[in-house]
Amino acid sequence: MTTDTHGHDVDRDEVDIDDPRLSRFEIVREGARRDGIEIVHYEDPFPIPGTKAERRTVRTVALLFLITGVAATAFMLIYILWPWRYELGANSSKLYTPLLGLTLGIALFGIGFGILSWGKKLMPREIAIQDRHDGPSDRQERKLTGETLAYMVDDLGIKRRKWLGLAALAGLAPVGLVAAAPLIGGLIKDPTKERILFRTGWDPAENGGKLVRLTREDGTPIRPEDVSVGGQMTVFPGIPDGATNEHADSPTLLIHLRTKDAEKTRADAKPINVGAQWGNFVAFSKICTHAGCPASLYEQQTNRLLCPCHQSQFLITDNARPIFGPATRSLPQLPITVDEEGFFVATADYKVAVGPAFWERP
């Protein structure tokens, strides 16, 4: 509650508010005075009732309210009668939302400007001055409160009984932990368990020990001839739900390089990537090592892969090394081969964690 209900000035004669000669405004002004507020200027914009200017203003305000009535009625009619369900193509259902917005907006504007012009044009203008009563409290008040607070500490006798204070602290600190533990403890999930941040759907362990096939979004396996030279395809682990967000770290880009590029890629392969390539085919993680967006814009001529989120660019022919933008790590390469039925399989999981880096990542 506010406490600044100040008394009136002492050196001012108090008005007898029961004096029948006082107008209501004079009583209001006296009330304000007793709250430390002086209404220094008060002016009716239309002191003579019924002037042309006043009638004009009243008409304007009334018109604004009437516009609101019309717009609100239109809103209701449109809301109920207009065809609102979505239908393909250009039709009147597309106008439903715009018409609702238009009528609602006009209705609210009518109220808003109506109230504002009523308040600003028709009501008396005033200038009032209020004392701030800022600054600190009275010195005596401060002392009294301060001593009261200090005496509370004395009452407890902490100074006399030092051990009691320490014991209370030692006892209460664990209680604080007890209060926090159930709130936070239930949420904690160990990231090191099953090395979830290092494993993807390409791990044969996910597939009952069998090598995981490279599949399309619909789960069909892929033969080498399905990808034309210079072409690329997003592939998923051929396991249940392999193409869904259950395995959000598994999407991989299978690229069919031109022979010259493929030779260069093989020659430049880092030790970790040696043997990962199959013929002219390479497969790299599609999950950007910077922030985890899919790095999906492949520029065939330069063999660059661009991530549209923060514009990291990776050079596929050089171990998918980052060559521009904020990414620091190469895209991990998925070791691939073709099984006896002629479909692509991953010979193992990624050798390093895919996606954005984290503290425990070597």
Partner 1 sequence: MKRRKVDVNAVPGKVAGGLDERFQAATPLRSILNKVFPDHWSFLLGEIALFSFIVLILTGTFLTFFYTPSLTTVTYDGSYAPLRGVHMSEAYASSLNLSFDVRGGLIMRQMHHWAALTFVAAIVVHMFRIFFTGAFRKPRETNWIIGLTLFWLGFLNGFTGYSLPDDALSGTGLRIASAIMLSIPVIGSWVTTSIFNGEFPGHVIMSRFYIAHVFLIPLALLALISVHLGLVFKQKHTQWPGPGRTEHNVVGERFVPRYTIKQGGFFMIVFGVIALMGGLFQINPIWLFGPYEAYTVSAASQPDWYVMFLDGSTRLFPAWELRFDLWGWGEGYTVPPIFWPTVVLPGLLTVLPMAYPFIEARLTKDYRSHNLLQRPRDVPARTSLGAMAIAFWLVLTLSGGNDVIADKFHISLNAMTWAGRIGLLLAPPLAYYITYRICLGLQQHDREVLAHGVETGIIRRLPDGRFIEVHQPLAPVDDEGHGHLEYAGWVVPKKMNRLGALAPAIRGFFFPIEKPAEAPVSPGHPPVEPKSKREEITK
Q: How far apart are CA 290 and CA 117, in angstroms?
A: 56
| Residues 194-253 contacting partner 1, CB under 8 A | 196-197, 234, 236, 244-245, 247-251
313-315 β-sheet, strand order:
297-299, 304-306, 313-315, 321-324
Asked if residue 293 binds partner 1 (CB under 8 A), the reply is yes
Asked if 305 contacts 253 with a C-beta cutoff of 8 angstroms, the reply is yes
Distance of closest approach, residue 248 Cβ to partner 1, in angstroms: 4
**Adjacent-strand bridge partners of 235:** 252
Asked if 285 contacts 350 with a C-beta cutoff of 8 angstroms, the reply is yes
* The one segment of 55-63, 148-156, 182-190, 341-349 that binds partner 1 by CB under 8 A: 182-190
* The one segment of 18-26, 131-139, 264-272, 332-340 that binds partner 1 by CB under 8 A: 131-139
Distance of closest approach, residue 270 Cβ to partner 1, in angstroms: 16
Q: Residue 201: left (phi > 0), alpha (psi -120 to 50), or beta?
A: alpha
Q: How far apart are CA 234 and CA 215, in angstroms?
A: 9
Asked if residue 356 binds partner 1 (CB under 8 A), the reply is yes
* The one segment of 54-62, 112-120, 158-166, 330-338 that binds partner 1 by CB under 8 A: 112-120
| Residues 315-334 contacting partner 1, CB under 8 A | 322, 324-329
Other Cβ atoms less than 10 A from the Cβ of 234: the count is: 14
Asked if residue 301 binds partner 1 (CB under 8 A), the reply is no
Distance of closest approach, residue 158 Cβ to partner 1, in angstroms: 29
Distance of closest approach, residue 72 Cβ to partner 1, in angstroms: 12
Distance of closest approach, residue 297 Cβ to partner 1, in angstroms: 7
Of 189, 225, 228, 271, the one binding partner 1 by CB under 8 A: 189
CA 251 to chain centre: 26
Of 128, 156, 180, 181, the one binding partner 1 by CB under 8 A: 128
**DSSP code, position 325:** S
Distance of closest approach, residue 62 Cβ to partner 1, in angstroms: 15
What DSSP element (H or E) covers 256? Answer: strand 252-256
Of 297, 302, 339, 342, the one binding partner 1 by CB under 8 A: 297
- Residue closer to partner 1 by CB (options 144, 248) is 248
Q: How far apart are CA 61 and CA 162, in angstroms?
A: 73
